Structure 1
Amino acid sequence: MPTPEPTVATNLPEQLVRLTRRMQRAQKRHMAHLDIAFTPAQSRLLRIVGHCRDTPPRMADLAERLEVVPRAVTTLVDALEANGAVRRVPDPANRRVVRIELTDTGRSTLHALRSARRAAAEEILAPLTADQREVLGGLLSTLVDGPGERR
C-alpha cells in the first residue's frame, strides 16, 4: 500500500521550522558587516530589556520572560555585560535586587539587530503581495497571541 501524499497541514510543522531557520540565516547575513556576534538567546534578552522602558527588569523577570532557569539568565547577562551591551544596577528601592539595563552600546546593538531582522523579513516576504502579507500577518498574530501563550 503506497504512503499517502503529505498535505499542507502535515507539512506545516516542517515548513515553520524551515522558515525560522531561513529567517535566522538571512538575519545573520544582514548582520555580517556589523561585527556583532550575539547568540539568539542573547539577542532575545537584549530585546526584552529594550522593551522595558520605565523600569529595568530584574534577573527573575528575565528568566520568566525567557522561560529559563535564573542561572541561564546569569550566563547570558555575564556575556552581554562583558560585551558592554548591558550593566547590572542596584534597585533604588531594594539594594538586594539587581536590575539589568541597556548601555549605549546595547542600544546601538539592539538597533542594528532590529534593522537586520527587518531586512531579513523583507527579503523573505518579498515574493508576497501586500494583500498576502496582510493575511499572513493576521494569521501569525492569531498564532502568537492565541490561548496558552504567555507574554
Structure 2
Amino acid sequence: MSEDLRPDSLGEAFGAVARSLRAAAMTAFAAYDVTPSQVRAIRVLTGEAGGVRAKELADRLRIAPRSATEVVDALEAKGLATRSPDPSDRRATLVTLTDQGRELSEEVRRARGAEAERLFERLTADDRAELARLLEKLQAP
C-alpha cells in the first residue's frame, strides 16, 4: 500500500484540511466578535422562530447545560439572543435570536462560505462532487 494511502496518512491529511477549514472559519468569526461556540449556538437558533429550550440547545450543541448558559449569556450581552419563559412549561426557558442575531447569522454564513470557497476553489466540480460523496460515505453509520 502506498505511503499516502495508509489510514494514518489519510487521517493526517484529513486533519490538516479540517484545521485549514477551521482556521478560515475563525478568521471569518473574528470580524464579528463571536466565538466558535457562539456561532454554533446561533446556527442552532437560526430558523427556530419560536426559540429553543436552553436544555435542548445544550443537547444540540453537545455541551453541558452550564456551558450552554455561558454561551447564551454572551449572546444576550451582545444583543444577539434573548431568554423568555416557555409558555408551555414556565420552568423552562426559551432562547431566541434577536433581529440583530438573525442578521449576524446571515453575515457569518456568507463570510464562512467565502472562506470555504477560497479553500475549495482549487477543486473542479467533479472533484467537489467526489469529495462530497466520500464525506457522506464516511459519515454514514
Residue 79 (structure 1) aligns with: 74
User: Which of 46, 51, 55 matches 2:42?
Assistant: 46
SS of the residue 1:97 aligns to: strand
Corresponding residue for 2:129?
A: 134
Determine helix, strand or coil for the equivalent of 2:91. coil
Residue 7 to residue 131, structure 1, CA distance change in 2 (3 Å): closer
Structure 1 segment 4-23 matched on structure 2, within 5 A = 5=3, 7-23=5-21
Letter in 1 for 2:7: A
- Summarize the Cα distance change of 1:30–1:45 in structure 2 as closer, same or farther, 3 Å threshold: closer
- Give the RMSD, CA atoms, in angstroms: 1.9
Distance 2:129 2:3 in 1: 30
1:30 Cα shift? 4.0
Residues 85, 103 of structure 1: 8 Å contact kept: yes
Separation (CA, whole Å) in 2 of partners of 1:7 and 1:82:
48
Pick one of 32, 48, 69 that aligns with 2:64. Answer: 69
Question: What letter corresponds to residue 108 of structure 1 in structure 2?
Answer: E
Structure 2: 5+ residue stretches without partners: none
Distance (Å, rounded) in 2 between the aligned partners of 1:14 and 1:21: 10
Structure-1 separation of matches of 2:88 and 2:34: 32
Gaps (5+ residues) in structure 1? Answer: none
Aligned partner letter, 1:16: F
Whole-Å Cα distance in 2 between the matches of residues 68 and 30 of structure 1?
Answer: 23
TM-score by length of 1: 0.83
Q: CA deviation at 1:66?
A: 1.3
Residue 31 and residue 93 in structure 1: after superposition, are their counterparts in 2 closer, same or farther (change >3 A)? closer
Give the conservation status (yes or no) of the 8 Å contact 1:31–1:112.
no
Identity %: 38
Aligned residue for 2:89, secondary structure, equals coil
Q: Please identify which structure carries the higher strand content.
A: 2
**For the structure 1 residues 134 and 5, does the alpha-carbon distance in structure 2 shift closer, same or farther, using more than 3 Å as the test?**
closer
Give the CA deviation at 1:31.
5.0
- 3-state SS of 1:87 partner: strand
Q: Deviations over 1:98-130 (max 9, x none)?
A: 011000111111111101111111111111110
